[in-house]
């Protein structure tokens, strides 16, 4: 008896499997395509709703005349590896964040994090951010940056930026008020 090499057996079986019921497979495929289309429409509908509810929440909780947001970004960031940040407004702790590896990577790739959103009355306020992490030579590093803002009746945005000061070989922490 001639023994057929087995090398093609898997392929033959796979082919046989796919031919068991071609009609049913086509029907299933059609159903799945329709279901995929339905899921796509649903995703878009929920996204639209989520946007509307997001805006509703913002209007309700953070009205434009008092809205105040703090963002955080990293530019270069070779001299500092961020672990955590704390935010104080008028000496009151309002936000604290411990970064996961993934969040940290997203920041270092150019993403901007919304660290805090809240309400502030018109007038002067002191914003202080405390950064902890690893500085040059992998040493523990803790720094703070402060900015005094004059809150108007328009929404106000502050961006905390972590930069590299190449001349001093030290990280630099600055606060930018967005107009």
Partner 1 sequence: MSLNPLRGWLPALLAGLLLLPAPGRAEEPGVVQDLPYGLALYHFFQDRYFSAITDLMAARQRQRLPRQQEEADLLLGSLYLAYGLEKPSGELFERILEQQVAPAVADRVWFNLARLRYEQGQYDQALKALERIGEGLPPEREAERRNLLANIHLRRKAYDKAIAVLADFAGEGAWKAYARFNLGVALVKAGREEEGARQLEAVGRMEATTPELKALRDQANIALGFAWLRAERPKAAAAAFARVRLHGPLSNKALLGMGWARARQERLQESLVPWLELKVRSPLDPAVQESLLAIPYTIERLEKPKLALVHYTEASVRYEQQLAELKRLREAVARGELLQALRPGNLDDESGDSIYRGRLPAALSVPYLYRLLASNDFRSALRNHQDLQYLRYVLGRWEHYLPVFTLMLKERRAAYEKKLPAVTSDLLLEQLEDFRRQRAALAAEVKRVEREHDLRALADEDEAEWLDVLADVRRRLERLGSGADLEEEQAKYRLFNGILIWRIESDFVPRLWRLKRGLQRLDQALAETEKQYAALQRAWKIAPRTFEGFDDRIRGQYRRIKTLQGQVDAALKAQQQAVQTLALAEIDRQQARLKSYLVRARFAQARLYDKLMKMQPPPADLIAPPDEQPGAPRAADRPPAAEAAPAAGEARP
Q: Where are the beta strands (DSSP E) in the chain?
A: 67-74, 81-89, 92-98, 113-119, 123-134, 140-151, 156-165, 170-178
Q: Using CA atoms, how far apart are residues 105 and 111, in angstroms rounded to an integer?
A: 9
Answer yes or no whether residue 107 interacts with partner 1 by CB under 8 A. yes
- Name the minimum Å distance from CB 157 to partner 1: 6
- Name the minimum Å distance from CB 135 to partner 1: 23
- Name the minimum Å distance from CB 117 to partner 1: 11
- The DSSP symbol for 120 reads -
Residue 150, strand partner residues: 124
Supply the DSSP string of 34-51, one letter for each residue: HHHHHHHHHHHHHHHHHH
Q: Using CA atoms, how far apart are residues 63 and 11, in angstroms rounded to an integer?
A: 65
Answer yes or no whether residue 93 interacts with partner 1 by CB under 8 A. no
Answer yes or no whether residue 65 interacts with partner 1 by CB under 8 A. yes
Answer yes or no whether residue 5 interacts with partner 1 by CB under 8 A. yes
Question: For residues 65 and 156, is the Cβ–Cβ distance under 8 A?
Answer: no
- Name the minimum Å distance from CB 170 to partner 1: 23
Answer yes or no whether residue 22 interacts with partner 1 by CB under 8 A. no
How many residues make contact with partner 1 (CB under 8 A)? 56
Enumerate residues 25-44 that contact partner 1 by CB under 8 A: 28, 31-32, 35-36, 38-40, 42-44
Q: Using CA atoms, how far apart are residues 99 and 105, in angstroms rounded to an integer?
A: 9
Q: Using CA atoms, how far apart are residues 147 and 141, in angstroms rounded to an integer?
A: 20
Provide the token pair at 59.
Answer: 């209007």
Among 2, 19, 60, 167, binds partner 1 (CB under 8 A): 60
Answer yes or no whether residue 177 interacts with partner 1 by CB under 8 A. no
Answer yes or no whether residue 157 interacts with partner 1 by CB under 8 A. yes
Binding site for partner 1 (CB under 8 A): 3, 5-7, 9-10, 13-14, 16-17, 28, 31-32, 35-36, 38-40, 42-60, 63, 65, 71, 73, 102-103, 105-107, 109-114, 122, 157, 159, 178
């Amino acid at each position: 008896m001639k023994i057929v090499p087995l090398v093609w057996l898997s392929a033959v079986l796979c082919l046989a499997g796919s031919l068991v019921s071609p009609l049913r497979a086509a029907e299933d495929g059609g159903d799945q395509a329709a279901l995929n289309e339905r899921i796509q429409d649903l995703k878009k509908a929920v996204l639209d709703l989520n946007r509307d509810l997001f805006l509703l929440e913002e209007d309700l909780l953070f009205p434009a005349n008092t809205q105040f947001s703090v963002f955080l970004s990293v530019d270069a960031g070779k001299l500092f590896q961020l672990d955590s940040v704390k935010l104080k407004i008028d000496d009151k702790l309002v936000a604290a964040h411990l970064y996961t590896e993934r969040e940290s990577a997203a920041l270092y790739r150019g993403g901007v994090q919304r660290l805090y959103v809240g309400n502030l009355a018109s007038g002067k306020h002191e914003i202080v951010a405390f950064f902890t992490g690893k500085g040059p030579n992998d040493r523990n590093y803790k720094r703070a940056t402060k900015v005094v803002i004059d809150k108007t009746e328009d929404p106000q945005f502050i961006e905390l930026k972590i930069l590299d000061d190449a001349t001093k070989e030290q990280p630099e922490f600055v606060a930018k008020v967005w107009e």
